[in-house]
Amino acid sequence: MCVVKMPSFDDILSAPTLFADRGVLSPHWVPDVLPFREKETTRIMTAVAPALAHERSRNLFIYGKTGTGKTCTVRKVMAEFEARKSSARSCYINCRMYNSRYRVIQKMAKDFVPELDRSGFGLNTLYEKMMEWISLDESAPTPKTGRRVVVVLDEVDMVRDLDELLYTLTRMNDELQAGSISIIGITNRLSFKDALDPRSKSSLCETEMVFTPYSPSQLREILARRTEMGFKKGVVEDSAINLAAAIAAQETGDARYALKLLLRAGEIADEKHRPHITHTEVEEARRSVDVDLAAETIATLPVHQQLVLLAVCNLSLEGQRYARLGGTPSNNQADGEHHLMSGEVYEEYSRLCRTYKKPKRSARWYREYLNDLEMLGLITTVESGRGMRGRTRLIRPGYSPEQMKKIIEKSAAIHGPDDAMPDLPEGKGGHSSLSKIDGQLSLGRSDGQVSNSKPAW
Ligand SMILES: Nc1ncnc2c1ncn2[C@@H]1O[C@H](COP(=O)(O)OP(=O)(O)OP(=O)(O)O)[C@@H](O)[C@H]1O
Ligand SMILES: [Mg+2]
């Protein structure tokens, strides 16, 4: 009998590795120097500097695609702001975690007034205590100056009741006799602004700035600097850095994705006991990172989007089986790609709702779910030409249906209780179903348009 020897911790810890310091490649590591963000850094510093001189700083709204350095640039500036040890204070809030008015105000209150670090205070109490704390600044030149506070709301589009939060913060400012609150809002999704109340919008977007995507050569330099610290000398070949930079630049100029590719390429080389990281490992890394990213997205989808996606997967897999048995599904395209018809996917979704005991949503919601899934790249859809039983939307999975099916079937969402949601009247709406309505995931429609056309399927 063959006995497989289990490794010990010593074996694992002493295994040869190409990494010098893996932590440097983690997305949470903030480098001391942020190349190509000098201009943005200066603008943010200029925007918040008045607070250090006992004056109100302007609100700032920062927009840019994912991985363009918004979070790390703002965090770096705010770290320097705090290091000045002035009476002005800042508070960084990740709204993915603190996603409602109450949670944001509670986090601010806890950060500024330590004795409020107990749960159970109502919004009014937190509001009053904050007002008191901001108005009273013993170190201010005159008692009437008050404190200057800068609140960073990162991923601000995730706040469910953003209008209410902005209203509360604006009201605080209006009511404060001394001191002020300024907001830095950060997002990678612009379309959410369309749903905001005009007053909230003008207060949040008092000053705006855009982080543009990195070019391939900028990504190459960012990667080269990290490589020097993260990997042993000479193990990463230029071809690896060039390819990782080119792939990430093709996507959205996303430095996080580029770093993830290099990190995974290093892990692959370690696992396979290869002495170098080349373009081959980066290619392999790309495949595995893409599946991981899709898995993360799918696992956090609300339940009905998962069920619609599962319906697409089931029917695609059925179609593949049928094709293997030599059949020709009626809706096969000339290019041999199997497209599903929107109506058959809705039928399968309805069947899955019965299986998983969820109340079926209307056709109107279903179309919104398709929009959401398409926006996330989990499916692709095209309108059929005329002649195919009227006009219909033809659907294809964006990733391997087997893998997506496995992820959904493991997800807690479809096995858990249903999320209550009002039904949409036919022909109304236009918001993504993932927007503020259900508050679980906040994605605006990419075009921000209201669609009243009624596709026939
Ligand atoms: N100029 C840069 N130099 C070095 N590293 C950078 C630079 N810009 C971004 N990075 C790195 O890329 C990763 C992503 O950056 P960051 O989190 O700031 O992006 P973001 O714009 O906030 O993205 P998202 O919109 O997805 O939140 C981080 O690991 C960060 O350290
Ligand atoms: Mg960010």
Looking at the predicted structure, is the pLDDT value of residue 84 above 70?
Answer: yes
pLDDT at 448: 27
Label residue 434 by pLDDT band (50, 70, 90).
very low
Looking at the predicted structure, is the pLDDT value of residue 78 above 50?
Answer: yes
Which residues are paired to 396 by β-bridges? Answer: 380
pLDDT tens for each residue of 205-221? 889 999 999 999 999 99
User: What percentage of the chain reaches a pLDDT higher than 70?
Assistant: 83
**Rounded to whole angstroms, how far apart are CA atoms 16 and 242?**
25
Cβ neighbors of 357 (< 8 A, separation 6 or more) are: none
Residue 439, judged by CB atoms within 10 A of its CB (0-12, 13-18, 19+), counts as: middle
Cα dihedral 239→243→244→249 (10° resolution): 140
Residue closest to 241 by CA, chosen among 221, 271, 213 = 221
Ligand 2 centre and the CA of 414: distance in Å?
A: 29
Listed by start position, the domains of the chain span 38-211, 214-298, 301-415
Which residue has a Cα nearest atom 3 of ligand 1?
Answer: 34
pLDDT at 86: 87
DSSP state, residue 379: E
Parallel/antiparallel/unpaired status of strands 148-154 and 340-341? unpaired
Which residue has a Cα nearest atom 27 of ligand 1?
Answer: 66
pLDDT: which is higher, 191 or 342: 342
**Rounded to whole angstroms, how far apart are CA atoms 72 and 294?**
24
Cβ neighbors of 54 (< 8 A, separation 6 or more) are: 87, 88, 140, 141, 145, 148
Looking at the predicted structure, is the pLDDT value of residue 347 above 90?
Answer: yes
pLDDT at 252: 78
pLDDT tens for each residue of 292-314? 778 888 888 888 999 999 999 99
State the average pLDDT over residues 238-264: 93
Query: How far does CA 431 lie from the centroid of its chain?
Result: 18
Pocket of ligand 1, candidates 39, 256, 257, 442: which has the most ligand atoms within 8 Å of its Cβ, to mutate? 256
Q: Give exposure, 385-394, as e/b (b: 16+ Cβ within 10 Å).
A: eeeeeeebbb
The two three-digit tokens of residue 16, written as one number: 């040869």
- Kindly report the average pLDDT of the chain as a whole number: 83
* Pocket of ligand 1 contains residue 27 by CB under 6 Å: yes
Instruction: Determine contact, residues 23/29, Cβ cutoff 8 Å.
Output: yes
State the average pLDDT over residues 186-205: 86
Ligand 1 centre and the CA of 42: distance in Å?
A: 17
Q: Do you know the residue count of the chain?
A: 457
Which residue has a Cα nearest atom 15 of ligand 1?
Answer: 69
Atom number of ligand 1 nearest to Cα 187:
25
pLDDT at 137: 66
Ligand 2 centre and the CA of 71: distance in Å?
A: 4
Min mean pLDDT across 235-244, 343-352, 424-433 is at: 424-433
Q: Give 301-415's CATH code, choosing from 3.40.50.1370, 3.40.50.1970, 1.10.287.130, 1.10.10.10.
A: 1.10.10.10
Residue closest to 331 by CA, chosen among 262, 277, 384 = 384
Looking at the predicted structure, is the pLDDT value of residue 89 above 60?
Answer: yes
pLDDT tens for each residue of 30-73? 888 899 999 999 999 999 999 999 888 999 999 999 999 999 99
**Rounded to whole angstroms, how far apart are CA atoms 80 and 88?**
12
The two three-digit tokens of residue 230, written as one number: 């993260």
Ligand 1 centre and the CA of 162: distance in Å?
A: 25
Ligand 1 centre and the CA of 27: distance in Å?
A: 7
Instruction: Determine contact, residues 376/277, Cβ cutoff 8 Å.
Output: no
How wide is the angle at C-alpha 262 spanned by C-alphas 375 and 214, nearest 5°?
55
* Pocket of ligand 1 contains residue 66 by CB under 6 Å: yes
Q: What are the residue ranges of helices labelled H in 113-180? A: 123-135, 162-175
pLDDT tens for each residue of 369-418? 998 898 888 898 888 765 555 678 899 998 888 889 999 998 877 887 66
pLDDT tens for each residue of 126-174? 899 899 889 876 665 666 678 999 999 999 988 989 999 999 999 998 8
Parallel/antiparallel/unpaired status of strands 180-187 and 340-341? unpaired
Min mean pLDDT across 373-382, 427-436, 446-455 is at: 446-455
Q: Which CATH number does 214-298 carry?
A: 1.10.8.60
Residue closest to 94 by CA, chosen among 83, 115, 78 = 78
Q: Write a three-state SS string for the chain.
A: CCCCCCCCHHHHHCCCCCECCHHHHCCCCCCCCCCCCHHHHHHHHHHHHHHHCCCCCCCEEEEECCCCCHHHHHHHHHHHHHHCCCCCEEEEEECCCCCCHHHHHHHHHHHHCHHHCCCCCCHHHHHHHHHHHHHCCCCCCCCCCCCEEEEEEECHHHCCCHHHHHHHHHHHHHHCCCCEEEEEEEECCCHHHHHCCHHHHHHHCCEEEEECCCCHHHHHHHHHHHHHHHECCCCECHHHHHHHHHHHHHHCCCHHHHHHHHHHHHHHHHHCCCCCECHHHHHHHHHHHHHHHHHHHHHCCCHHHHHHHHHHHHHHHHHHHHHHCCCCCCCECCCCCECEEHHHHHHHHHHHHHHCCCCCCCHHHHHHHHHHHHHCCCEEEEECCCCCCCCCEEEEECCCHHHHHHHHHHCHHHHCCCCCCCCCCCCCCCCCCCCCCCCCCCCCCCCCCCCCCCCCC
Instruction: Determine contact, residues 393/455, Cβ cutoff 8 Å.
Output: yes
* Pocket of ligand 1 contains residue 378 by CB under 6 Å: no
Ligand 2 centre and the CA of 199: distance in Å?
A: 25
CATH architecture under which domain 38-211 falls: 3-Layer(aba) Sandwich (3.40)
Atom number of ligand 1 nearest to Cα 36:
1
Residue closest to 309 by CA, chosen among 424, 434, 417 = 434
pLDDT tens for each residue of 105-133? 999 999 988 887 777 788 888 899 899 88
* Pocket of ligand 1 contains residue 31 by CB under 6 Å: yes
Looking at the predicted structure, is the pLDDT value of residue 425 above 80?
Answer: no
